[in-house]
Amino acid sequence: MATVKRPSLSLAATQAIELSRKDDNNLVSSHRPSTVDDVYYGDETAARSDAERIRDRSLLTPDEEKKLVRRIDWHLMPLCSLIFMFKNLDSDNVSNARIMNRGSNMNIMTQLAMTADEYNLVTVLYFLPYIVFEAPSNLLLKRVSPSRWQSRIMVTWGIVLACHCAVTNKSGLYTARFFLGLAEAGQFPGVILQMTYWYRPDEMSLRLLYFYTCGNLSGIFSGLLAFAFDHLSGAGGLLGWQWLMLVEAIATIITGVTVWFLLPDSFIQARLPPNAPRADESNFNFGEILSSLKDIRLWLFTLIWASFTVGTSGVRFYQSTVIADLGFTSIATAQILNLPITILGLLVICLTGLHANNGRLPRPLYPLTFLLIILASYAVLVAYPSTAAVYAVTLVGNAVTATWFPVMWPWRVQTTSRTTGSAFSIGFVNSYGQIGGAVGPQLFRADYAPRYRTSFGVAMGLVFACISITLVTWWVTRHAERNTRKVNGARVRAAARGESVVEDLTKEDLKGDLKGLR
């Protein structure tokens, strides 16, 4: 990757660095500005020593670094968020299609002659290729470049989604969902990996707030689209669910082509910690994969993801059906009742992200709090005191379920290292965490309808297991988590004084987690 100069940034720099503020362990430098030509992107910064990296970081005043990060945000985050929104939209449409035109011969299950249990298999076949291909996809991302790889993913899955319109039986739907999962595999962990190329671990929380807030707008759009196409069924010779798939497919393909030209690929490496991916590293280092597989943290985080997704994915998949079964209103309007869940989830994501960004509380406290709320919500669903109570806890439980992911990912990525290791670890955790998408809906078999008490009881057990594993993982990663929070807190205090922190989490911090386990 060639070095690229960005003269338009033309940032002021410093001639001297004064270390100060011993209460922040000398992490802060104050600045006396002069000027330099520009900031460098790419390979040239990759080979610099840690001391040179800190020196380069110190060349920017706090205001200048803030402007630089703001430019990165505007170039990177809108596109990443849009990609994630389309992924959610296109993967969740099958659950909305399930109740479109319900009770008529235009319903997808009637058209394809499928039972409820047979329809559950579409999620299994959709997530199986995710589990197998997400980690390999992440390993290919840097070799091909993020913009081209993400564009390829989107255009491919858009084409497969359009092919859903030609489905005439359940075998065709199974095949289409399998290839849709295969096409989408690697999209989400690829975006998370690319963010580690641009942001420090302490900056991920706020960016994931933007990412998940925009991405989860899909819950609003999908409900509105399903509501609209439910009434459009039969127009142009297409049923409502076919219109839903076709319109989303066209929008996905157009966005995928745009990503090729607009998504930035280069790195800003002088700002990144020593364990971050580097532009001059080899695209594939088998030793880093072996090291990752020997790291107990990889398996602990994978177990967290798996137990959480199995315990919550079924509830999310059946959200539309459960609401429709409550008898509040018509099937079409039941789609609209999904919207408050999404809106509440977005509010909780925003409030939590802003609070977690200050580094005052240990990060694991946030997912643990959400898990306890989910556990309490499921207990009400098992008891089933009234339809209003069931809808209320569905609203709260699924809203905080959506908020769990953006508070978990910053914790996960702060323990990864280097290009291959980061790509493999992020892809591995996300891919095998997708087991929930395959297994979760199977808990909600027709035998347990309409109240699904057994289903929610099993989900409670899985959420409790997730809480237990999260506590163990917190203890194992306590050194890196504490030191990352310490650096983040120092940055917040330094910014208020017009100063900046020039140090980051080090390899020694990461290794400190494992010393007590050997």
Residue 31: predicted pLDDT:
37
Q: Is the pLDDT of residue 327 over 80?
A: no
Sign of the alpha-carbon dihedral angle for 346, 351, 352, 356: positive
Q: Sort 518 into a burial class: Cβ within 10 Å, 0-12 / 13-18 / 19+.
A: exposed
Q: Is the pLDDT of residue 27 over 80?
A: no
Rounded Cα distance, 346 and 207, in Å: 14
Beta-bridge partner residues of 14: 33
Q: Is the pLDDT of residue 501 over 70?
A: no
Please give the class, per CATH, of domain 78-266: mainly alpha
- Of these ranges, 18-32, 59-73, 385-399, 452-466, the one predicted with the greatest mean pLDDT is 452-466
Three-state SS at 37 = coil
- Of these ranges, 231-240, 286-295, 368-377, the one predicted with the greatest mean pLDDT is 368-377
- CATH architecture assignment, domain 288-491: Up-down Bundle (1.20)
| Residue of 255, 209, 247 whose CA lies nearest to 225 | 247
Residue 163: predicted pLDDT:
94
| Residue of 432, 409, 467 whose CA lies nearest to 132 | 432
Residue 37 or 156, more confident: 156
Residue 326: predicted pLDDT:
65
Residue 280: predicted pLDDT:
55
Sequence letter at residue 509: D
Residue 214 or 401, more confident: 401
Q: How far are the Cα atoms of 13, 23, 33, 478 from residue 490, in angstroms, in the given order?
A: 21, 9, 22, 18
Count the neighbouring beta carbons within 10 Å of the beta carbon of residue 180.
Answer: 28
Q: Do domains 78-266 and 288-491 have the same CATH topology?
A: yes
Q: How far are the Cα atoms of 1, 57, 254, 444, 502 from residue 147, in angstroms, in the given order?
A: 14, 27, 14, 38, 30
Q: DSSP label at 385?
A: -
| Sheet hosting strand 12-20, strand order edge to edge | 12-20, 28-35, 500-501
Q: Sort 397 into a burial class: Cβ within 10 Å, 0-12 / 13-18 / 19+.
A: buried
26-35, 154-163, 235-244, 315-324: least confidently modelled range: 26-35
| Residue of 335, 69, 84, 87 whose CA lies nearest to 214 | 84
Residue 435 or 154, more confident: 154
Rounded Cα distance, 234 and 228, in Å: 12
Q: Taking the model in full, what pTM does it have?
A: 0.74
Q: Which two tokens stand for residue 400?
A: 């905080």
Residue 215 or 469, more confident: 469
> Could you report the per-residue pLDDT of 167-176, keeping only the tens digit for each?
999 999 999 9
Residue 365: predicted pLDDT:
92
The 3-state DSSP composition of the chain as helix, strand, coil percent (nearest 5) reads: 75, 5, 20
> Could you report the per-residue pLDDT of 56-115, keeping only the tens digit for each?
665 667 777 788 888 888 889 889 989 988 988 877 788 778 877 777 788 888 889 998
Q: Is the pLDDT of residue 237 over 70?
A: yes
> Could you report the per-residue pLDDT of 437-468, keeping only the tens digit for each?
778 777 877 787 777 788 888 989 999 999 99
| Residue of 22, 41, 497 whose CA lies nearest to 266 | 41
Q: In the chain, what percentage of residues exceed pLDDT 90?
A: 19
Q: What is the mean pLDDT of the chain?
A: 76
**What residues does each domain of the chain span?**
78-266, 288-491
78-92, 137-151, 436-450, 499-513: least confidently modelled range: 499-513
Residue 123: predicted pLDDT:
82
